[in-house]
């Protein structure tokens, strides 16, 4: 059933991971040029991988345990992406690479929030199915 609330959360996480990276910049370099995720293949790959995991998870609605595991993997992937951003912003000596941080650095946090809400709803559905199976 694609019309469940976790599907909406997963689609929102996919939109954040795949769509908003082209709208919001990650940081501004010393020449005041905004740097987007599409300019660095590592960040682009991690963002698109997160979006792909979210979309795969939407269509695995018949196997809730696998959907839950995919959500957890996606959360870990977004934490890795967030770790790369923190490393990039803290590892610079002086004003070497990053002059000003952009709002795009916060996109993995927003995606993590949607994924946690989706996993809560998946777990709630799984508990509901188990309680109904006990009554049979």
- pLDDT tens column, 8-18: 999 999 999 99
CB 49 within 8 A of CB 77: yes
pLDDT at 48: 93
pLDDT at 99: 63
3-state class of 59 per DSSP?
A: coil
Look at the chain and report how many structural domains it folds into.
1
pLDDT > 60? residue 70: yes
Distance CA 26, CA 36 (A): 5
Entry pTM: 0.87
pLDDT > 70? residue 96: no
Average of per-residue pLDDT values in the chain:
86
- At residue 73, φ and ψ (nearest 5 deg) are -60, -40
Q: Which domain holds residue 25?
A: 5-135
């Amino acid at each position: 059933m694609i019309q469940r609330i976790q599907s909406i959360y997963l689609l929102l996480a996919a939109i954040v991971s795949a769509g908003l990276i082209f709208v919001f910049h990650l940081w501004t370099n010393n020449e005041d040029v905004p740097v987007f995720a599409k300019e660095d293949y590592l960040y682009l790959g991690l963002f698109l991988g997160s979006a792909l995991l979210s979309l795969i998870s939407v269509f695995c609605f018949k196997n809730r345990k696998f959907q839950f595991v995919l959500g957890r993997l996606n959360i870990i992937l977004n934490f890795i992406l967030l770790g790369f951003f923190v490393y990039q912003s803290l590892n610079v000596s002086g004003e070497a690479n990053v002059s000003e941080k952009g709002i795009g650095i916060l996109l993995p946090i927003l995606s993590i929030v949607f994924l946690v809400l989706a996993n809560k709803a998946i777990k709630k559905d799984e508990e509901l199915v188990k309680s109904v199976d006990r009554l049979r």
